[in-house]
A = this chain, B = another copy of it.
Amino acid sequence: MPSDCPARPIDAQAIKVACSNCNLRELCMPVGLSPEELERVDGVVAARIKVKRGSRLFRSGEPFKALFAIRTGFFKTCVAAADGRDQVTGFQMAGEIIGLDGIVSDRHACDAVALEDAEVCVMPFERIGELAREVGALQHHVHRIMSREIVREHGVMLLLGGMRADERLAAFLLNLMQRLHARGFSRSELVLRMTREEIGSYLGLKLETVSRTFSKFAGDGVIEVRQRHLRILDPAALHRIVDQQPGHR
Do A147 and B101 touch (CB < 8 A)?
Answer: yes
Write the A213-249 contact mask toward B (1 if CB under 8 angstroms, else 0). 0000000000000000000000000000001110011
- Contact check, B160 vs A157: say whether CB atoms are below 8 A apart: yes
Could you say which of A102, A104, A139 has the most chain B C-beta atoms within 10 Å of its C-beta? Answer: A104
In the bound complex, do residue B133 and residue A249 qualify as a contact, i.e. CB atoms below 8 Å apart? no
In the complex formed, the residue of B with least CB distance to A163 is B85
CA distance A151 to B103 in the complex (A): 10
Q: How far is it, in angstroms, between the C-alpha of A203 and the C-alpha of B249 when the chains are bound?
A: 9
Number of contact residues on A: which range applies?
A: 35 or more
Check if A103 sits within 8 Å of B158, measured CB to CB.
no
In chain A between 96 and 143, which residues have their CB closer than 8 angstroms to a CB of chain B? Answer: 100-105, 109-110, 129, 132-134, 136, 139-140, 142-143
Interface string of A70-100 (1 = CB under 8 A from B): 0000000001011111110100000000001
Q: A83-B245, A89-B154 are in contact. List 20 more A-B contacts (CB 8 A).
A: A79-B154, A83-B248, A84-B245, A85-B158, A87-B157, A89-B157, A100-B150, A101-B154, A103-B143, A103-B144, A132-B133, A132-B139, A133-B134, A133-B139, A156-B157, A160-B160, A161-B202, A201-B249, A204-B249, A205-B249
Instruction: List chain A positions with a Cβ less than 8 A from chain B.
Output: 79, 81-87, 89, 100-105, 109-110, 129, 132-134, 136, 139-140, 142-151, 153-158, 160-163, 200-206, 243-245, 248-249
